[in-house]
Structure 1
């Protein structure tokens, strides 16, 4: 009985200890980034080789940029062509909006679904959030950054928006890619000092 009480007390302390939670968060982001790097080596059209991975740079994990956002679904949205930095256009449809507060300011990001990916069974539940913020052209890539979601990440009318997982488009590393340009509606009026930073190597 004494050991059960001791175990229960230890569990409660661990669950309420902010250091433990912070460590779990940092471990999660570290694992996410390792998987992100490994993906470059598995992708056939990757702009990076193994030696280039050392030049990937990230902000320190910051739980302040993991935000619970309100999700508002968009119904009856018409398909449109999203312009890319190569001049090509890609077909998307607006899936909904994420509404949240960042650094005391109300913000909104549109969530899009690729019509090309929607035709593929393994990707039909993928959602895409391209965005720009006030770090672009300074600490982060000038062309903006991206976030990916799955439909299951949206729980009713809420979704966790984790900017620590924001990543660069391939255009940040090399020319010749069709990287969607974040629409003006997805230009934030605050600095997002989280996620991937400028690539540390010239191209």
Structure 2
């Protein structure tokens, strides 16, 4: 039972962190990003559900990021697409089914599919595997949004999403192979390097 309660607390804290980010980013996106980094570093260093193994130096140094670039923050229209489904294996958790619900055109990056996690509660999922994968960032890619777990930068009432490439972050499987994560499908891959967000070193 303790593990479930710890995981619930982790998700609650992540959701609270993103809620603060959405509020502050309305006036000062760079300051919101700094708060996000600080909040993530605290969670990764101290929380019992941290994906970092005990003794990992990142618990002390903090997670590395590229310098914040305000030109990489967008509010993008979600464009309708032909529906598609994708089922991914997620280890002991079984499988995760993704339903493609739209697409965003990210300036300087290209088209990225927007997915719905077809599980209890659901949520929007926007992964990215860019040209830095395997060198500057995790080879499996990063996440821009995962609203089922609280990673939500906001959007408008008329079908828009805030996509800020500075908030790209590594999935838990980057830190510990015990974690199995859904990674970027073909429609979320680009050879364009995105030097923003979390990096390897």
TM-score, normalized by the shorter chain, greater than 0.5 = yes
Q: Give the deviation of 1:165 after TM superposition.
A: 0.5
Q: Deviations over 1:59-116 (max 9, x none)?
A: 01011211232211457x3543035599x631121121111321xx6x1111112122
Matches within 5 A, 1:31-50: 31-40=35-44, 41-42=46-47, 44=49, 46-49=51-54
TM-superposed CA distance for 1:49, in Å, is: 4.9
- From 20, 26, 32, the equivalent of 2:30 is 26
What SS does the aligned partner of 1:72 have?
coil
Higher strand share: 1
Match of 1:197 in 2: 199
Secondary structure of 1:192's counterpart equals coil
Tell me the TM-score normalised to structure 2 length: 0.70
Q: Give the number of equivalent residue pairs.
A: 168
The Cα shift of 1:135 comes to 0.9
Q: Looking at CA atoms only, which structure, 1 or 2, has the larger radius of gyration?
A: 1
SS in 2 for 1:27: helix
Root-mean-square deviation (Å): 3.0
Using a 3 Å threshold, how does the CA distance of structure 1 residues 187 and 38 change in structure 2: closer, same or farther?
A: same
CA drift at 1:193: 0.7
User: Who is 1:179 aligned against?
Assistant: 181
Report the CA distance shift for 1:65/1:157 in structure 2 as closer, same or farther (over 3 A).
same
Structure 1 residue 152 displacement after superposition: 5.3
**Could you state the TM-score of these two structures normalised by the residue count of structure 1?**
0.69
Show the 5 A alignment for 1:128-167. 128-148=125-145, 149=147, 150=152, 153-167=155-169
Q: Which runs of 5+ in 2 are unaligned?
A: 1-24
Paired position in structure 1 for 2:64: 57
Contact 1:71–1:154 at 8 Å: present in 2 too?
no
